[in-house]
Structure 1
Amino acid sequence: MRFDLTDLQLFAHIADSGSITAGARLAHLALPSASARVRGLEQALGVPLLRRGRRGVEPTEAGLALLRHARIIGRQVEDLRGDLAQFADGLKGQIRLLCNTSAMTEFLPDALAAFLAAHPGLGVDLEERPSRDIVQAVAEGVADIGIITDAVDSAALQTFAVCDDTLVLAMARNHPLARQLGQRRSMAFADALDHDFLGLAGDSALQQYATGQAARLGRRLHCNIRLRSFEAVCRMCAAGAGVALLPATAAHRHDDERLLKTVKLTDDWAARKLLVCVRDRSTLPAPARELLAALLD
């Protein structure tokens, strides 16, 4: 049985997007051609690969098995290109890097900028995701490198600690919670949940993490506004608009005028570390090995 790389890439795009139309567009194929390729795969294998519904498509059990191998093969092809490219005009390639919110805003900017300046032939496909999703993606070969917190189970991967990622509560010095705390410099997360929070917009990994911790306490995290950056959150906090859960580094960096009161959390989950994770350092393609070394430095 022969498998066409284009068919495998197309199937991965369809599974990821949940749509044959979107998958065809990502694979740069006309819709009739993409549909015919999927039917050809199903006929060759003798099993349905997609479950069609009103809201799109999703892989069947057989489709999930094919998807897993399609991703592995796709990554191997990219690794091959990356390893051979270094013998041409210097190291070239595309690296898939996933990271959580703190890494995206606090850890990566300087490290990644310096790396890309030193390796102009390389590109980095960077995406923010929750740490748990990153572990799964790296384990499945969807990403080369991940940056996660030590709060998730990453036993199946090789991990390397790079820095602390302690979470704190930030608020204006005249906020009711700040007055309630007085001289206290620490508190439990549960004791802050009666107050309005400032959150991050979109699918922020940190926002999902904060919401999940509140849910574990049987509580709801009420965000009266969502903003797009830690800087904006800190400015709104300083103006008294609410309380925010932030990395300690972000709270201190965006408080030049010392308008914020930052409070340590007594919850164990707030004392986090950032870890760089890979499936196997020795089998990374050359560009990813270079980036890993730069991140660990």
Structure 2
Amino acid sequence: MAPFDSVTARLILLLAETGSIGRAAEREGIASSAVSRRVSDLEARLGVVLFDRSAHGVRLTRAGEAYAEGCRGVLRAIADLDAVMADFSSGQKGSLRLACTSSALTGRLPELLARFAQKHPGISLSIGEMGAAKALLALDEGQADIAIVSDNYDFSRFDIRPFEDERIWVLAPPEHPLAPQIDPRKALPFADVLPHPIVGVHHAGSLDRLLVEAASKTGKKLEEALRVESFPALVRMVEAGFGLGFVRSTSLHLLAGTDLVCAPLAEPWAMRKLLVARRKSSPMSAAMRGFIALCEETYSPSS
């Protein structure tokens, strides 16, 4: 049997994630035919079918699921070996790969990274902005050393530490019917918001999941006027009068220069935490230890 091919292994995982040869090829910057050929050659060599193919895309077979899980394990081991080797150096050189949500990058993380970079000038930083689910998947597959994500996910496979406290706030234009009740000094009950259309953001993202679950527990659904993919866009659409909006406290700076009114939600579930997560089984490089220590040293819990 031919030796393990890490390039093909990454393609297998990318196909499993995207369900599309075309999207996988685009992400890797190679031709679709090259992706198909690699998969077909691998299937022929293994003597199994890894993907069910249809007009709608590709999906792992049971054999494919087993092979993909094996690929994840090998790629994790390779990533872990790199981390172990980095610790043999003086600690003055190395790398730190972060997978972060937009909430983390609009909070205190940039300033914290600046402090870390000043203290460790030989450590190269790689920062990927993505949703929390993808950030945790990046940890699982050894594509990131640390993830900074919201707290409403399954963290049983990860070691977690608090990073930043945040509350969910509601936004409205001053002419909105609910505006007279919105005061930043007073918490607003979620039930008062539910009858009004909203501007949604990041479908299936952590904030979206949190709000949908909270509405479901009341037996109601959020009425979306429209949906956007970024918080600056959400603020602009709320300004334009499309509906109410929700942001985390780490994004309130986006309201600067607007006449929007805002208030924190009153419910306990609206007070959340951003967490620093790492795989329990991954070795701790000097860079990871330094960054986590800095996070713990500067974390200040809300009263």
Task: Classify the TM-score, shorter chain.
Answer: 0.7 to 0.9
SS of corresponding position for 1:278 = strand
What residue in structure 2 maps to residue 275 of structure 1? 275
Counterpart amino acid of residue 264 in structure 1:
P
Name the CA shift for 1:10/1:236 in 2 (closer, same or farther; >3 Å). Answer: closer
Tell me, in whole angstroms, the C-alpha distance in 1 between the residues paired with 2:82 and 2:155.
28
How far did 1:78 drift?
Answer: 3.4
How far did 1:276 drift?
Answer: 0.9
How far did 1:17 drift?
Answer: 3.1
What residue in structure 1 maps to residue 126 of structure 2? 124
Tell me, in whole angstroms, the C-alpha distance in 2 between the residues paired with 1:37 and 1:115.
41
Tell me, in whole angstroms, the C-alpha distance in 2 between the residues paired with 1:44 and 1:201.
41
Name the CA shift for 1:203/1:112 in 2 (closer, same or farther; >3 Å). Answer: farther
What residue in structure 1 maps to residue 225 of structure 2? 224
Residues 33-74 of structure 1, C-alpha deviation per residue, up to 9 Å, x if partnerless?
543432343234332111111122121122122212212322
Q: CA RMSD in A?
A: 3.7
What residue in structure 1 maps to residue 81 of structure 2? 80
TM-score using structure 2 length: 0.76
Name the CA shift for 1:120/1:197 in 2 (closer, same or farther; >3 Å). Answer: farther
What residue in structure 2 maps to residue 70 of structure 1? 71
Kept in 2: contact 1:129–1:205 (CA 8 A): yes
Name the CA shift for 1:204/1:154 in 2 (closer, same or farther; >3 Å). Answer: closer
What residue in structure 1 maps to residue 301 of structure 2? none
How far did 1:280 drift?
Answer: 2.3
Tell me, in whole angstroms, the C-alpha distance in 1 between the residues paired with 2:96 and 2:182.
49
Tell me, in whole angstroms, the C-alpha distance in 1 between the residues paired with 2:30 and 2:264.
53
Tell me, in whole angstroms, the C-alpha distance in 1 between the residues paired with 2:113 and 2:46.
43
How far did 1:174 drift?
Answer: 5.0
How far did 1:82 drift?
Answer: 5.0
1:85-124 to 2 correspondences below 5 Å = 87=89, 90-93=92-95, 95=97, 97-116=98-117, 118-119=120-121, 122-124=124-126
What residue in structure 2 maps to residue 57 of structure 1? 58
How many residues in Structure 1 have an aligned counterpart in Structure 2?
294
What residue in structure 2 maps to residue 157 of structure 1? 158
1:210-221 to 2 correspondences below 5 Å = 210-221=211-222
Name the CA shift for 1:212/1:62 in 2 (closer, same or farther; >3 Å). Answer: same
Counterpart amino acid of residue 170 in structure 1:
L
How far did 1:103 drift?
Answer: 1.4
How far did 1:240 drift?
Answer: 5.9
What residue in structure 2 maps to residue 266 of structure 1? 266
Counterpart amino acid of residue 109 in structure 1:
P
Tell me, in whole angstroms, the C-alpha distance in 1 between the residues paired with 2:238 and 2:115.
32
Counterpart amino acid of residue 127 in structure 1:
E
Kept in 1: contact 2:80–2:282 (CA 8 A): no
Kept in 2: contact 1:281–1:289 (CA 8 A): no
Counterpart amino acid of residue 296 in structure 2:
L
Name the CA shift for 1:181/1:16 in 2 (closer, same or farther; >3 Å). Answer: closer
Kept in 1: contact 2:166–2:248 (CA 8 A): yes
SS of corresponding position for 2:179 = helix
Counterpart amino acid of residue 111 in structure 2:
D
> Within the alignment, does 1:295 sit opposite 2:260 as a pair?
no
Larger mean Cα displacement after TM superposition, 41-50 or 56-65: 41-50
Counterpart amino acid of residue 147 in structure 2:
G
Residues 121-160 of structure 1, C-alpha deviation per residue, up to 9 Å, x if partnerless?
5241413214x55445534545422223333332332110
Name the CA shift for 1:157/1:248 in 2 (closer, same or farther; >3 Å). Answer: same
How far did 1:89 drift?
Answer: 10
Name the CA shift for 1:114/1:69 in 2 (closer, same or farther; >3 Å). Answer: farther
Larger mean Cα displacement after TM superposition, 38-47 or 235-244: 235-244
Structure 1 gap segments, 5+ residues each: none
Larger mean Cα displacement after TM superposition, 52-61 or 275-284: 275-284
What residue in structure 2 maps to residue 146 of structure 1? 147
Counterpart amino acid of residue 78 in structure 2:
V
